[in-house]
Amino acid sequence: MRRSSIIMLIAAVALGLIAVLFARTFLSSGDDAGSQTAAVRTVPTVVAAADIKFGEKIKPEMVKVVDWPANTLPQGSFQRLDELTMGAGRTAMRPIVANEILTENSLATGANRLSTAQLLGPQMRAVSVPVNEVSGVGGLVFPGDRVDVFMTRQPEEAMPYSELLAQGARVLAVGSDMNVGKEKPELVKTATLEVTPLQAQKIALAVTVGSLNLALRHFSDESRMRLQTAQVMDLNDGTITRLVRKPNSGGAAPSGPPAPSAGNSGQAPVGPGVVVMRGTSNGTTSSFESVIGK
């Protein structure tokens, strides 16, 4: 009897110790959770209550206020509904999905009309360039894309050439459409680009003396490269080519080998060589170079 009482006493003490350990663990985890909750500070933030389309005026039923962690809040957010709906109001500059935080960059002040000027960065300019199915990349250029701008010119006094005018220019609008959520390609006559004042000056001149082409680039491609002027003689993959000269104006091929120049020994060159022809017509000097071989 005495032995069983001792065993029961030991079991009771053990259970009591286990209960104390469980209590301490539970209270400790509760304190940690409370401290973590207290460490995360939230602030009222305006978000979209439903999907908002491009160009829609912000109405009170379209937005709501939620508590958002202050340390993850994007710059330019709003804390009160009246900041969006009172006065001139705001207009969506791009599609906004439900529960997305509204920011100044996604909205335009005033609801009368949307202006491309509100999309421009500081010290930047908007310039429109003519495009067609070829120069406009088949209608696959959309607002928000990045493009390079090339000019091609065929002057009377020289061979045709191409120059790079601008790199990574942001497309603000295609035709009159500024919707960055545009999904279907469309052939338009103009594209409006965001460029620097110097690039705007070059493009304005290039439109009058040559034709422009847009080259679409990847969103994340911020690289800049220096390209030399490309001419007709550069249109190969680096291999040596042979050019066949046209017959003379009378239609008859020249008879016999060309007369040797005073600087050689009277023998025709053997193997590959370079032939340079220069002449004048109406006071305009022109040149033609080719590589010929036997």
> Among positive and negative, which fits the CA dihedral 285, 286, 291, 294?
negative
- Write out the E strands in the chain: 42-48, 63-69, 90-92, 107-109, 125-130, 146-153, 161-174, 190-195, 211-217, 230-231, 273-281, 284-292
Percent of the chain clearing pLDDT 70 (strictly above): 73
Tell me, what's the pLDDT at 247? Answer: 77
Query: Is the predicted pLDDT of residue 16 greater than 90, yes or no?
Result: no
pTM for the model stands at 0.55
Query: Is the predicted pLDDT of residue 164 greater than 90, yes or no?
Result: yes
137: three-class secondary structure by DSSP: helix
Over the chain, what is the mean pLDDT? 77
211, 210, 216: which is closest to 193 by C-alpha?
A: 216
281: three-class secondary structure by DSSP: strand
Read off the pLDDT of each residue in 166-194 and give the average, rounded to a whole number.
Answer: 85
pLDDT tier at 166 (50, 70, 90 boundaries)?
Answer: very high
Tell me, what's the pLDDT at 29? Answer: 64
Tell me, what's the pLDDT at 112? Answer: 52
154: three-class secondary structure by DSSP: coil
Window from 16-20, 29-33, 220-224, 258-262 with minimum mean pLDDT = 258-262
Tell me, what's the pLDDT at 36? Answer: 53
Determine contact, residues 149/166, Cβ cutoff 8 Å. Answer: yes
pLDDT tier at 165 (50, 70, 90 boundaries)?
Answer: very high
Structure tokens at 147: 């493009």
162, 158, 159: which is closest to 230 by C-alpha?
A: 162
In whole angstroms, how far apart are CA 266 and each of 32, 258, 259, 263?
101, 10, 8, 9
* Of the ranges 80-89, 255-264, 269-278, the best mean pLDDT one: 80-89
pLDDT tier at 34 (50, 70, 90 boundaries)?
Answer: low
Q: What's the pLDDT tens digit per position in 115-150?
A: 667 777 888 999 999 998 888 888 888 888 999 999
Tell me, what's the pLDDT at 285? Answer: 43
Query: Is the predicted pLDDT of residue 8 greater than 80, yes or no?
Result: no
According to CATH, what is the number of the domain 43-114? 3.90.1210.10
Window from 26-35, 46-55, 172-181 with minimum mean pLDDT = 26-35
Q: Give the number of other CB atoms < 10 A from CB of residue 170.
A: 18
Q: What's the pLDDT tens digit per position in 73-115?
A: 888 889 888 888 777 778 887 788 899 998 888 887 764 556 6
Query: Is the predicted pLDDT of residue 250 greater than 90, yes or no?
Result: no
Tell me, what's the pLDDT at 33? Answer: 52
Query: Is the predicted pLDDT of residue 289 greater than 50, yes or no?
Result: no
- DSSP state letters, 181-214: T--S----SEEEEEE-HHHHHHHHHHHHHSEEEE
Read off the pLDDT of each residue in 179-202 and give the average, rounded to a whole number.
Answer: 86
In whole angstroms, how far apart are CA 187 and each of 140, 143, 174, 230, 290?
8, 13, 9, 28, 40
- CA-to-CA distance for 122 and 115, rounded, in angstroms? 15
